[in-house]
Structure 1
Amino acid sequence: MKLIDQHCTHGAPALDPATIPARLAEVPEWQAIDGTIARDYAFPSYRATIAFVNAVASMAEAQNHHPDMTVGYRRCTVAYTTHSAGGALTDNDFICAARADAIYAQGPAA
């Protein structure tokens, strides 16, 4: 099943580090950095950036899995890790990464 079609689960176990490259291949713009996965997004305007941030926040609430986001003028960095798994990566991180990519692919909402 594709990541985008999955839902986050409470208590997801940490991934075996050997599986992370395969998961990253499913979200190719993301990079693994120090126990997180992160991606930078670019936008045509500040308003579009904030619309994306709000859409990701809504998705995060629905999935009960929240990213760290760094917001700037016409850009946003989204980073995921699973604190309940001791700061390790879980399937939840990759599910939400795929969902954030889908939001971005829809284009600016503002």
Structure 2
Amino acid sequence: MTGLLNDTQVSEALRSLPEWEQDGTRLSRTVEFDSFPQAIQGVNRIAEIAENEGHHPDFDVRWRKVTFYCSTHSEGGITAKDVSMAEEIDGVVDALSQT
């Protein structure tokens, strides 16, 4: 188990995640991909990472726009696992934007 981050720790983490924001008890980021297939490709890549790590973000897919939500449900809020997953998501988004 991992402990919840306090507001100061979340704010510090967000300094290195400029595209993310705190949305209550979760981190969120909305990405607009170039196409619907690219959006689904991003979701699929992140789903593979999440499955391997045993930590799963929530997705909201709206055509080319995908909103990612990271929260540790078992802890009831944001933990270091969510910060790590946000970093992984940023890596996938960056890689897809260069293709």
Q: TM-score, normalised by structure 1?
A: 0.85
Which amino acid in 2 is paired with 1:54? N
Cα-Cα RMSD: 1.5
Change (3 A) 1:24 1:17: same
User: Are 1:74 and 2:64 matched, yes or no?
Assistant: yes
Q: Provide the rounded CA distance (Å) in 2 between the counterparts of 1:21 and 1:30.
A: 11
Question: Are positions 1:40 and 2:1 aligned together?
Answer: no
**Alignment correspondent of 1:100:** 89
1:55-66 pair list within 5 angstroms: 55-66=45-56
TM-score normalized with structure 2 length:
0.94
Structure 2 SS opposite 1:19: helix
1:60 & 1:98 partners in 2: Cα distance?
A: 12
Q: CA deviation at 1:109?
A: 9.2
Structure 2 letter corresponding to 1:36: R
Equivalent pairs, count: 99
Report matched runs for 1:4-43 at 5 Å. 11-43=1-33
C-alpha distance in structure 1 between counterparts of 2:46 and 2:88, whole Å: 8
Identity %: 29
Q: Which runs of 4+ in 1 moved over 2 A?
A: none
User: Contact 1:68–1:80 (CA<8 Å) still a contact in 2?
Assistant: yes
**Residues of 1 paired with 2:34 and 2:73: CA distance?**
32
Which blocks of at least 5 consecutive residues in structure 1 are unaligned? 1-10
Deviation at 1:34, TM superposition (A): 1.0
Is the 1:51–1:109 Cα contact (8 Å) retained in structure 2? no
CA contact (8 A) 1:48 1:108 kept: no
